Every structure is written in structure tokens, then in C-alpha cells.
Structure 1
């Protein structure tokens, strides 16, 4: 008898389709990239969408004059307001489930990302795994890139970021999720890769530094190198410095980088001693130095260490001036000395901390040609 009561419900369920809320792909406008600029008191939001029939190649019916992507631009007081403006421009439903790239203009970043982060966090279509970068100039200009290597500008930029980070030349993937995590941490300050456009090419200009959700400064490529080596054990780009022993230059390619941090308390002042170990290769030399001679090799190594240390300390001083602990040094105090941590105003105390960086460089002098 009890089964008979539920029989009508069971029969109705059998008649229902399994994809009652499904949408046909042809009815969706999939967004692969979003660029956000500021014009006076309005946000200018540009979205990049691929055109499937134009990405099939000549054999698929597309011609060389057809664009593989389409750009829509909307304006509004908020992000949702601007995206609603875009929705009324398209005959399809705009979806952000396939978004892989978020580009924020420098102007917007300096005003603060609090409202944007709120919108991203509330929209379930954003997966939080998107790449997020800060653009020098207007963000929408990045969607005008036309590369023969990649038909979709968003794909080209993502490939650039992915390959360079795998080579340990730039900061590893810094996306929306990482920004949320860093912002929620009372110590860590968010950083994002800072890019510009050079003709039809992308150029990595360094790192955008944030204090909470507002951009406060920039580290150029050279200044970013020590941050990459200390925080991520990345190699960074090659170091080119005078040989010092004899006239000329030497190019050092870091191969393996490790770092270690020691910290202490000196009358209430935080003290950090950072040691960075670098194993490197000689990539190029324009000076006549016999690296097979241990004394000459040691002199070159010491000079390279000094060059690294000067650049690293310049970066530390800049971070302290901006009161942004991009190294996450406060985590050592917060983790191991919570009582001491509660007494600190870390933004101020970080700027007054005693921080020194030392490098130990081991150079492999081997090469095809024998040095003189």
C-alpha cells in the first residue's frame, strides 16, 4: 500500500528529462577573456569570445579575412552593470564558465579591486582558476593582439604566462584564487604579473605589488628576480654583470636556486636573515678570464654574489617603503611566536624590520671553448 502511494511520483519522474536545465552550445556566448578599464566614474568591460565557425581553418569554410574572435564592450557603474550592458548587445546568453584570463588595467588596480573581487566571488560561473594580470595602459588593448601563433589573444597571453612560469622566469600562476587567498591572509600581500604590449607582442614588465586589494607599486624585471628566487625558489632571468677581474661582461644563468630564512627578535624589532644558494652556469663571457683557475673563479663568484645582493636589498627596501610584505616574512612570527605577533602592527613593523640577504653562488665554468 505504501508503495502505491509513491507510484504516481515515480511515474512522473520517469517522464522527466535528465537535462532539464541544459542549454545548447549554439545558444551560448562563451567568454574566454575579460578586460576591465576605468573611464571617469564608469567601468569599461570588454569580453573576448571565440567564433567557432571561424576557428575551423580554411578547410572548415573560414576565410583569411574572417576574425576568429569577437569583442564586446559594455559600460556601467559596477561589473555586473557593465556585463548586463553586453548581454543586450548579443543574441546569445553570455556565460563566463570558460573564462581563462582576467586583465585589470593599472588604473583600476590602483583604485582598488574590492568591488570586483566581490562580484567575482558571488558569480558561480567564475571558477577562480583564471589567470589574472595587471595591464600597463588600457586592458582592452590586449584583445587587439593578432599573433600568427595563436588565433585567440587570450590563448596567446595564457601560453606566454604558462611557458615563462614553467621556465621560472616570471611569477608562477597568479590567478583569481591566489589573490583571494593572499588577501585573506593577514601577512601575505597579493602580487600579480605586470604586462604591457609592444606592437603585436606581449612583454613582461615585472610584478604589480598590492597592499590588501589596492595596487601600491611595481617591481621591474630586475627587482622581481630576487623575489622570485626567495619566495618560489625560481631561477629568474640571467644576470649580466662586469667580470671585475678584467674588462668585459659575464652572463650567469641560474640553474638551481634554494633559500632559507632565519628570524629573531631584537628588543621587539623583527630581524630576518635570508640566505640564497645559487648554482649557475656561465652562459657568455666577453672578458678574458681563466675560469679554470680556482682563484679567478672565486673572484668572479664573489662579484656575482655581490651583484645579486645589491639588487635583492634594493627590492627589500622598496617593499618596506610600500609597507607590503610580499615575501610573507611575517608568517614566521605568526606561526612560531603567536603571542609576539599579536603585539605587532605588521604593516608598520615590517617597514622597520632588520632584513639582510646573502647569496652563495657556485659557478660551473665548463663550456665548449677553453677559457684563457
Structure 2
């Protein structure tokens, strides 16, 4: 009897090890890597970007295969789901959403249709909350057609790998959807959705210019409302108050002097008054990497501190213009001093909100020449 039971148990294991029932081969599905959403004239336009995963990073001898084409799909509908349904009814291979890495929104969607977007993503079990979230003022198809270098897949571009490309060149914080949705309904502060554009002025392969996708600025969203688009130059103060900033290269004196500011540390203190104001302190070490003018360390220190001070004030001025707290100073007031002021007063940010701004840099010289 025991022998019979043992044979039955062993035989049953072969049933479960025989394979994945209903599994599809990689070549029998359309693997979507990015989704784009636009809205105009009462209709949504959905875009998908799909790549051939069988060819990505596959070696042929010692060289890469030729760059695989990018498939772009497009459909319109009264709702996001109805537009996707039209796409699904016309594909040669079934659409698979489990590999979506990026969600790209037009300005119109960010302005008027974020509720529809959050509902669609929340209801689709295949769309993950750790997708990258971007906006754009450009045509979405032009972003999805953006090129990588040296026949590499589009996966190696800012659309799909912004953390890798921006790790050592921090400027505008990149955003995952879960971070966005956790802050979207907060009563204070501003979320910056990074905006993408296409640049063809810096790189070429042979004589052909490369259409490279770049971060151009960001869409400022506060209290579930789009406050406006802000350029990279106007968001320049963000990096000095971010905990994610690492090594920040800065050029001074008409680019004849270069320094790298290392992991700036911020302190924000709330000052009492008729409305909240703030004491900001930014401290950091910096390494001098170029000094063509033979400036003294003291001169460079003064110029660097002045540059950082102006960067922060520039972003504060833009905050006042669009009525959005781009530096998220009000978050500390709301969390720790909520009973002292009402929400409208806490939201009020302008140049007068900065009671005192202190920038303290320590510069080390690190210019060595090969011998």
C-alpha cells in the first residue's frame, strides 16, 4: 500500500513539472514598453511603443545585431479603455502590458484628465505603480521614435532608463508613478512631472544627426491642478534643496573655472510672523577641477556661493509667478506648524518668504596633471 501511494505521489509531481499551461512564447505577443496619452476635442488618443525583445542586446559573433525597429500604435476613443480596445482589435499579435516601463502624458491630459488616467492605471492589473511618469509638449510619437546610440535599443534612452542617465548629473528629479500618486492629493507642495523633448543638435553618427530624447523642464502640479510648465533654467534651484543630488558640476567665470559640488545638505527653518517665512541654509564641499584664470580659492568660493544663491532665488521667483511652491518649502510648515496659519497663508510663497538664505561652501583644489 505504501509503495502504491509513493508511486502516485511521484507521478503527480511530473504533472506539475511538465510545463506552464497556457504560457505564450515571446514571439507570439506584442510587448508594450511605453504608453502615451493625449486628449483633444473630447477624445483620448492612446499611443503604445513596443519593442522586439528577441533582438535586444542579442549578440551575433562579436557585434550587435542591427537596431530593431520600434512599433508605434495609435487609436482614439471617448475613454482611455475604449481607445485601447480598438488597438487590441486590430493587432496581429496580442498586446501584453506587463513590461510597460514608462507612461507619457500630454499637457492637455495633465491639465484636464488626470482623474481618468489614475482610474485607468488603478484598474489595469498589468500596469505597475513603479513606472516612470513623464509629460511632454512635443508630439508623443516623436518622443517614442527617439533614437539611442550605436544601434542600441530604445530601452537605453531617457524614456526607459532615466535613473541610469541622470544618476551622476542630477538636475530635475525623475518621477515614478507611485511617488506621484502618493503626493497628488496632498494639500500642500508641488509635484514636478519631468517633461521630455527631442534634441538633434549635439550628436550625430557619421553625418546623420541623432534625434535624442532629453528632459526639457517639468509640469508643476499642485492641489490636483496644473500650474504651468517650467523650463530647466527656471528649476535650477531644485538641485540645491534635494536630498537626491550627488555630484553637481558648476562652471564659473565664463566657464573658465569648474567645480563639482558634492552632496549639498539643506536646512529649512520656519520663522513665525503674519505668514510663514523661511531660513534656508545650504552647505557642501566642492572640488575645483578647472581654473584657467588662476583665481584664488577665496574668489571662487564667493562666486560659487553667489551662483547658488541666485539659482534658489530664480526658482522662488518662478514659484511666485505661477503660484506654486516649486521648492516645497510649505510642506514643513504644514506638517509641523499647521495650527499657526490657514492653508491659503501656508500656500503663499514669494521672494519675501525667504527671511534669510545662507550658502556655505568649502572648496578643495584637486587639479593634477599627468607626468
Pick the TM interval, shorter chain. Answer: 0.7 to 0.9
Structure 1 position 275 matched with structure 2 position 281 = yes
For the structure 1 residues 47 and 164, does the alpha-carbon distance in structure 2 shift closer, same or farther, using more than 3 Å as the test? same
Alignment of 1:322-361 (within 5 A): 322-341=322-341, 343-346=342-345, 348-351=347-350, 354-355=353-354, 356-361=356-361
State how far apart, in whole Å, the 2-side matches of 1:56 and 1:351 are: 50
Q: What is the CA-CA distance between 1:235 and the residue it aligns to? A: 4.4
Q: What is the CA-CA distance between 1:325 and the residue it aligns to? A: 2.1
Q: Deviations over 1:240-290 (max 9, x none)?
A: 2328xxxx8322221231111111221x3101111111211223233232x
Q: What is the CA-CA distance between 1:159 and the residue it aligns to? A: 5.7
For the structure 1 residues 107 and 250, does the alpha-carbon distance in structure 2 shift closer, same or farther, using more than 3 Å as the test? farther
Aligned length: 343
Match of residue 206, structure 1, among 217, 223, 231:
217
Who is 2:3 aligned against?
A: none
- Asked whether the 8 Å contact 1:37–1:140 carries over to 2, the reply is no
Structure 1 position 260 matched with structure 2 position 267 = yes
Q: Deviations over 1:92-114 (max 9, x none)?
A: 33232210011122343344522
State how far apart, in whole Å, the 1-side matches of 2:150 and 2:25 are: 26
Q: Deviations over 1:135-188 (max 9, x none)?
A: 231122112123244644244224651123321523444011111011122223
Who is 1:99 aligned against?
A: 100
Who is 2:8 aligned against?
A: none
State how far apart, in whole Å, the 2-side matches of 1:346 and 1:236 are: 35
Q: Using structure 2 for the length normalisation, give the TM-score.
A: 0.80
Who is 1:42 aligned against?
A: 43
Alignment of 1:93-172 (within 5 A): 93-149=94-150, 151-158=152-159, 160-172=161-173
For the structure 1 residues 68 and 308, does the alpha-carbon distance in structure 2 shift closer, same or farther, using more than 3 Å as the test? same
Who is 2:70 aligned against?
A: 69
State how far apart, in whole Å, the 1-side matches of 2:155 and 2:75 are: 18
Structure 1 position 242 matched with structure 2 position 253 = yes
Q: For 1:44, what is the secondary structure of its paired residue?
A: strand
Q: For 1:350, what is the secondary structure of its paired residue?
A: coil
State how far apart, in whole Å, the 2-side matches of 1:316 and 1:236 are: 23
Q: For 2:122, what is the secondary structure of its paired residue?
A: helix
Alignment of 1:211-222 (within 5 A): 211-222=222-233
Task: Give ranges in structure 1 of 5+ residues lacking alignment.
Answer: 1-12, 292-296
Task: Give ranges in structure 2 of 5+ residues lacking alignment.
Answer: 1-11, 201-210
Q: For 2:158, what is the secondary structure of its paired residue?
A: helix
Q: Using structure 1 for the length normalisation, give the TM-score.
A: 0.80
State how far apart, in whole Å, the 1-side matches of 2:343 and 2:109 are: 31
State how far apart, in whole Å, the 2-side matches of 1:88 and 1:235 are: 47
Q: For 1:335, what is the secondary structure of its paired residue?
A: helix
Structure (1/2) with the larger helix percentage? 1
Q: For 2:30, what is the secondary structure of its paired residue?
A: strand
Q: What is the CA-CA distance between 1:191 and the residue it aligns to? A: 0.9
State how far apart, in whole Å, the 2-side matches of 1:150 and 1:128 are: 30
Q: What is the CA-CA distance between 1:55 and the residue it aligns to? A: 4.1
